[in-house]
């Protein structure tokens, strides 16, 4: 079992690290992601078949990176960003923007992945479809479809809210 684990790590460590670095864009986070991938590999080594090891590792790497990206897009930062960005110094506008950010944060907390991350990356961080696709490991067409569904879900969650 230990031999099999070491073999997989030695054989695929560059590939796992490259995938993590590509998705996260940060070497420190990529190293953390690799560590998590290797911990999961150790935990599930008996279930990983030799001919599926590469695919299994890449799948786990993608999932770990998505988890890290979710943590990165903190909803607390979302509140502050929205209030500061839309406030023009007028106290009533600041209050309205604060209420808006409260409702958006509440709606986003009810959304499931990948829709939540897509809304945050596309609408709040203003990232391009290409960038989002790279970060989430999806095709550009998948990002467009998921973004459409995410907006529909957000619209449904915000229905009836007096914005």
pLDDT of residue 134: 84
Q: What is the CATH number of domain 2-72?
A: 1.10.1740.10
Residues of the chain with CATH 1.10.10.10: 76-158
pLDDT of residue 8: 95
Contacts 24+ apart (CB under 8 A), 55-58: 57/8, 57/12, 57/15, 57/16, 58/15, 58/16, 58/19
For 156, phi then psi, to 5°, come to -65, -40
C-alpha 26/C-alpha 48 separation (Å) is 28
Task: Report the 10 Å Cβ neighbour count for 30.
Answer: 22
pLDDT of residue 75: 44
> Whole-structure pTM over 0.75, yes or no?
no
To 10 degrees, the CA torsion angle through 32, 36, 42, 44? -160
Task: Report the 10 Å Cβ neighbour count for 25.
Answer: 13
pLDDT of residue 105: 78
Residues of the chain with CATH 1.10.1740.10: 2-72
C-alpha 57/C-alpha 15 separation (Å) is 9
**Among 28, 16, 9, CA closest to 68:** 28
**Among 118, 95, 94, 120, CA closest to 105:** 120
Low-confidence ranges of the chain (pLDDT < 70): 72-101, 161-163
DSSP helix/strand/coil, 161: coil
State whether CATH 3.40.220.10 applies to domain 76-158: no
C-alpha 79/C-alpha 9 separation (Å) is 41
């Amino acid at each position: 079992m230990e031999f099999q684990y070491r073999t997989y790590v030695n054989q695929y460590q560059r590939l796992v690290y490259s995938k993590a670095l590509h998705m996260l864009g940060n070497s420190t986070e990529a190293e953390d992601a690799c560590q998590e991938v290797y911990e999961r590999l150790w935990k599930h080594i008996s279930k990983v078949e030799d001919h599926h090891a590469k695919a299994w590792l890449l799948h786990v790497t993608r999932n770990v990176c998505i988890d890290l990206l979710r943590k990165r897009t903190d909803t607390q930062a979302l509140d502050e960003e929205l209030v500061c960005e839309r406030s023009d110094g007028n106290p009533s506008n600041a209050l309205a923007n604060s209420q808006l950010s409260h409702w958006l944060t509440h709606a986003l907390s009810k959304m499931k992945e990948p829709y939540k991350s897509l809304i945050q990356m596309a609408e709040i961080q203003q990232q391009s479809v290409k960038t989002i696709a790279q970060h989430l490991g999806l095709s550009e067409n998948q990002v467009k479809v998921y973004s459409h569904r995410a907006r529909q879900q957000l619209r449904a969650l915000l229905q009836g809210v007096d914005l």
